[in-house]
């Protein structure tokens, strides 16, 4: 049993008050005082926005025993609106059927850092969520002990009731909730042992599942308000362009149109870090009574654009990335031993270069946001991953005090990083301010795809040095990309080889890029794990055995002190997937590939089975072993793993955004290929490691390794290695 102090510092506090009618409300800082201990992955999380790490919440117990748990985190399909309240309810010891979950709006006074991203919600909130539930339970117990005049130690709880076995008495939480609100917050509380969990670890349906299935209004596109107008915006057709002139008279005269005008999201001279990330400052807004009328008027706009800064072409970007790969860096990001000597003296050197294109996010629900701006206030509502950042941007851009900008979060029809930046909310606010009315801004699919913040394009070169006995004696990785390098210098195989070198470089571009599901890992896992397969092959070793040998070195005699991973846990998922897939016993005609990767504090290993139908692959099955610590909700966890696998396979096979002189060449699904139902794996089998460790990330870790497992299977099927994504070059045939 874990003992946890309830007060850690000035910001870690609990507020207790009484509900009208006799209930109890407990306000608690979910993350401010109970953060995970620093670990080797801190560098990864520190690269994310500040807003990604703290969450707050309220727990309300009514006099009828019904418990309401506020969910402050944005919900983008990662199921935190179900999983996080489950953790509170577990320690509170209530029946899950008596729990009501509500989505909180942005509340910077009672909540802090309400963000969806980085697969950190459960990991960051684990202890604090438990503390909140356990503290409320303890206060309810003390209230009952005082009422019955019995020792606290004689009381127990079950399903929202307090029991006194000696006298046979019991009482519901709701009956003592008001009294409990007057109890002093205990200095420390006891948490349940994992073997005593009744809610955590039990497959639980999504709290919004029925509403989603029946079409209840949950999403931003569903949001309605009396008097609300509809807006759409036309941005430049290419990156690097600005508006020269416009003829809007025909559009303004069309039925249902209220106004047409230009807006500037970031006026010249305005400095703001997040506003600086907006690629298109000049926009022409069309506002009207209905979506259809606005769409037709938008088509009637006569706009002339001019080049401000030259737009870039994909081939030129790739050439520049090649030049950067060929250029030395002043200071390597990591160097162990003498890698130059290792390569000079090697009996065999393997060198390969891998590339990945820009990718769009293509969320099911395109960008949209509601705004109602008055003289000194702004009311915002919609799907955003960083509501506090949006609040700040609107405050700065519209010169409205931040405390007068409210943000209500709707459920999101996908995020994947696209909704981290919030520029669409700023646009909605500016349009509302101009027309002096409530407005809902809606992007079309083409708007979303061509005004996107994309996954950067990447290139990386790997080299491996083998001695005469086929032992790995040197390893060199050098990466570059548009705006960032994909290389994590302290990740595997760092720590497994005496002579190791990692180098990073990056290319500036006016094509906006940013977080895309499992940032950087989504590409580098493919490159790294594909390359390790080739090195294993050159060394004459089984690819799993080769990896396990390296993990053994990292466990018994690691090189360096900054290795980001736990080699035993890493090796553990490989061993598990090897066992479950029956590695080495595949049927004739079935071609098998393996991959393993660590990111977002979790470990995933996968085996993919492929059968070739001519030159088209059929993915028969994926086995997946996951070490993410305690699984709070197995049903939601399984959905996350399966979704990540399908997403990773689809983009590895088909995903690609290209540009010509800054103009996106793909604007809808007729030219941007997504995976189809018939192309998804016929079966996915997932195995979670049961180790009792505190939970880690889950929304992203299953995506990165699957591309390499698929590539390694295809190499065995075709005899040809794949070095560039997408794997399918003409929509149907392997490249």
Position 664 scores a pLDDT of 97
- Which pTM was predicted? 0.93
Mean pLDDT within 138-161 = 96
Is the separation of the CB atoms in 629 and 691 below 8 Å?
yes
Per the rule left: phi > 0, alpha: psi between -120 and 50, beta: everything else, 103 is beta
Mean pLDDT within 580-607 = 96
Alpha carbon distances (Å) from 459 to 186, 200, 333, 531: 55, 42, 17, 13
The predicted-structure confidence for 444-475, as pLDDT tens digits, reads as follows: 999 999 988 999 999 999 999 999 999 999 99
CATH of domain 220-309+367-442: 3.30.365.10
Q: ω before 726 within 30° of 0 (cis)?
A: yes
Q: What is the DSSP letter of 165?
A: T
Position 112 scores a pLDDT of 59
The predicted-structure confidence for 638-662, as pLDDT tens digits, reads as follows: 999 999 999 999 999 999 999 999 9
CATH fold of 2-198? Aldehyde Oxidoreductase; domain 4 (3.30.365)
| pLDDT tops 80 at residue 391 | yes
Least confident segment among 23-37, 118-132, 585-599, 718-732: 23-37
Q: What percent of the chain has pLDDT over 90?
A: 79
Alpha carbon distances (Å) from 608 to 300, 651, 702, 710, 713: 50, 16, 13, 6, 7
Position 20 scores a pLDDT of 66
Q: How many Å apart are CA 571 and CA 549, to the nearest integer?
A: 9
Sorted by where each begins, the domain ranges of the chain are 2-198, 220-309+367-442, 328-359+454-718
Q: How many Å apart are CA 221 and CA 440, to the nearest integer?
A: 8
Q: How confident is the model at residue 65 (pLDDT cuts 50, 70, 90)?
A: confident
Q: How many Å apart are CA 704 and CA 317, to the nearest integer?
A: 24
Q: What is the DSSP letter of 220?
A: G
36, HSE (Cβ side, Cα atoms, 13 Å): 20
Mean pLDDT of all residues in the chain? 91
Nearest to 492 by CA among 549, 554, 433: 554
- What count of other Cβ atoms lies within 10 Å of the Cβ of residue 561? 8
650, HSE (Cβ side, Cα atoms, 13 Å): 19
Nearest to 408 by CA among 23, 155, 74: 74
| pLDDT tops 60 at residue 618 | yes
Q: How confident is the model at residue 15 (pLDDT cuts 50, 70, 90)?
A: low
The predicted-structure confidence for 291-347, as pLDDT tens digits, reads as follows: 999 999 999 999 999 999 998 999 999 999 999 999 888 899 999 999 999 999 999
545, HSE (Cβ side, Cα atoms, 13 Å): 8
Q: What is the DSSP letter of 694?
A: P
Position 7 scores a pLDDT of 53
Q: What is the DSSP letter of 405?
A: E
| pLDDT tops 70 at residue 379 | yes
In terms of pLDDT, which residue wins out, 9 or 442? Answer: 442
Mean pLDDT within 29-55 = 36
Position 452 scores a pLDDT of 82
In terms of pLDDT, which residue wins out, 40 or 546? Answer: 546
Position 45 scores a pLDDT of 32
Position 181 scores a pLDDT of 85
Position 196 scores a pLDDT of 96
N-terminal to C-terminal alpha carbon distance within the chain: 56
Class of the 328-359+454-718 domain?
A: alpha beta
| pLDDT tops 60 at residue 86 | yes
Residue whose tokens read 């270069």: 353
Least confident segment among 57-61, 254-258, 684-688: 57-61
The backbone torsions φ and ψ at residue 709, rounded to the nearest 5 degrees and listed phi first, read -60, -40
344-364: b or e for each residue (b if 16 or more CB lie within 10 Å)?
A: eebeeebebbbbbbbbbbbbe
| pLDDT tops 70 at residue 223 | yes
In terms of pLDDT, which residue wins out, 125 or 33? Answer: 125
Domains 220-309+367-442 and 328-359+454-718 share a fold: yes
480, HSE (Cβ side, Cα atoms, 13 Å): 20
Is the separation of the CB atoms in 139 and 185 below 8 Å?
yes
The predicted-structure confidence for 169-194, as pLDDT tens digits, reads as follows: 999 999 999 898 888 888 889 999 99
The predicted-structure confidence for 715-724, as pLDDT tens digits, reads as follows: 999 999 999 9
Nearest to 613 by CA among 581, 649, 589: 589
Q: What is the DSSP letter of 731?
A: S
| pLDDT tops 80 at residue 627 | yes
Q: What is the DSSP letter of 679?
A: G
| pLDDT tops 60 at residue 36 | no
């Amino acid at each position: 049993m874990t003992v946890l102090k309830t007060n850690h510092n000035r910001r870690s506090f609990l507020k207790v008050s009484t509900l009208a009618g006799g209930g109890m409300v407990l306000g608690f800082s979910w993350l401010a005082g109970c953060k995970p201990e620093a670990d080797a992955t801190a560098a990864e999380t520190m690269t994310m926005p500040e807003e990604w790490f703290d969450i707050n919440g309220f727990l309300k117990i009514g006099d009828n025993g019904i418990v309401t748990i506020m969910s402050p985190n944005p919900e983008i399909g990662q199921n935190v609106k179900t999983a996080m309240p489950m953790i509170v309810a577990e320690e509170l010891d209530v029946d899950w059927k008596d729990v009501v979950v509500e989505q909180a709006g942005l509340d910077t006074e009672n909540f802090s850092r309400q963000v969806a991203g980085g697969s950190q919600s459960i990991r960051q909130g684990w202890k604090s969520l438990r503390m909140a539930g356990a503290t409320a339970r303890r206060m309810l117990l003390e209230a009952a002990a005082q009422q019955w005049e019995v020792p606290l130690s004689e009381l127990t709880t079950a399903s929202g009731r307090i029991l006194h076995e000696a006298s046979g008495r019991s009482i519901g939480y709701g009956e003592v909730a008001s009294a409990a609100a007057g109890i002093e917050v205990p200095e420390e509380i006891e948490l349940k042992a994992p073997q005593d969990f009744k809610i955590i670890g039990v497959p639980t349906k999504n709290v919004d599942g029925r509403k989603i299935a029946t079409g209840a209004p949950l999403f931003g596109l569903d949001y309605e308000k009396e008097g609300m107008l509809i807006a759409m915006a036309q941005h430049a057709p290419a990156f690097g362009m600005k508006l020269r002139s416009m003829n809007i008279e025909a559009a303004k005269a069309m039925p249902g149109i209220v106004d047409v005008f230009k807006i500037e999201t970031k006026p010249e001279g305005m400095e703001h870090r997040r506003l600086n990330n907006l690629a298109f400052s000049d926009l022409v807004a069309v506002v009207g009574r209905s979506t259809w009328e606005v769409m037709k008027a938008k088509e009637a706009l006569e706009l002339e654009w001019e080049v401000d800064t030259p737009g870039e072409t994909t081939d030129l970007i790739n050439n520049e990335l090649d030049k950067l790969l060929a250029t030395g860096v002043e200071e390597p990001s990591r160097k162990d031993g003498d890698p130059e000597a290792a390569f000079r003296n090697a009996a065999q050197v393997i060198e390969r270069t891998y590339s990945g294109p820009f990718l769009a996010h293509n969320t099911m629900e395109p960008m949209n946001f509601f705004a109602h701006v008055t003289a000194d206030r702004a009311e915002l509502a919609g799907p955003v991953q960083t509501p506090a950042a949006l609040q700040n941007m609107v405050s700065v851009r519209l010169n409205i005090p931040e405390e007068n900008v409210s943000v209500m979060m709707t459920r999101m029809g996908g995020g994947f990083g696209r909704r981290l930046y919030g520029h669409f909310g700023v646009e909605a606010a500016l349009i509302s301010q101009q027309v002096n009315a409530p407005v809902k801004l809606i992007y079309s699919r083409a708007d979303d795809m061509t005004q996107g913040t994309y996954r950067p394009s990447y290139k990386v070169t790997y080299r491996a040095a083998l001695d005469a006995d086929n032992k790995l004696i040197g390893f060199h990785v050098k990466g570059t990309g548009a705006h960032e390098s994909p290389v994590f210098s302290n990740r595997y195989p760092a720590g497994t080889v005496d002579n190791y070198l990692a180098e990073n470089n990056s290319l500036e571009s006016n094509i906006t890029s940013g977080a895309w599901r499992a940032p950087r890992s989504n590409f580098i896992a493919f490159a790294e794990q594909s390359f390790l397969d080739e090195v294993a092959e050159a060394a004459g070793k089984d690819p799993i055995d080769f990896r396990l040998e390296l993990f053994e070195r990292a466990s018994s005699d690691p090189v360096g002190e900054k290795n980001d991973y736990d080699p035993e846990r890493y090796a553990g998922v490989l061993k598990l997937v090897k066992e479950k897939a029956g590695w080495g016993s595949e049927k004739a005609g079935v071609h098998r590939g393996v991959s393993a990767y660590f990111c977002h504090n979790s470990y995933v290993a996968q085996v993919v089975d492929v059968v070739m139908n001519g030159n088209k692959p059929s993915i028969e099955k994926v086995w997946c072993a996951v070490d993410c610590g305690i699984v709070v909700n197995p049903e939601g966890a399984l959905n996350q793993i399966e979704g990540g696998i399908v997403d990773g396979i689809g983009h590895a096979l088909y995903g690609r955004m290209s540009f010509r002189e800054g103009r996106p060449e793909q604007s809808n699904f007729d030219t941007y290929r997504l995976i189809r139902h018939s192309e998804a794996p016929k079966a996915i089998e997932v195995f979670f490691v049961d180790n009792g460790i505190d939970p880690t990330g889950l929304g992203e870790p299953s995506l990165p390794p699957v591309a390499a497992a698929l590539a390694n299977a295809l190499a065995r099927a075709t005899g040809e290695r794949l070095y560039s994504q997408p794997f399918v070059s003409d929509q149907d045939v392997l490249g």
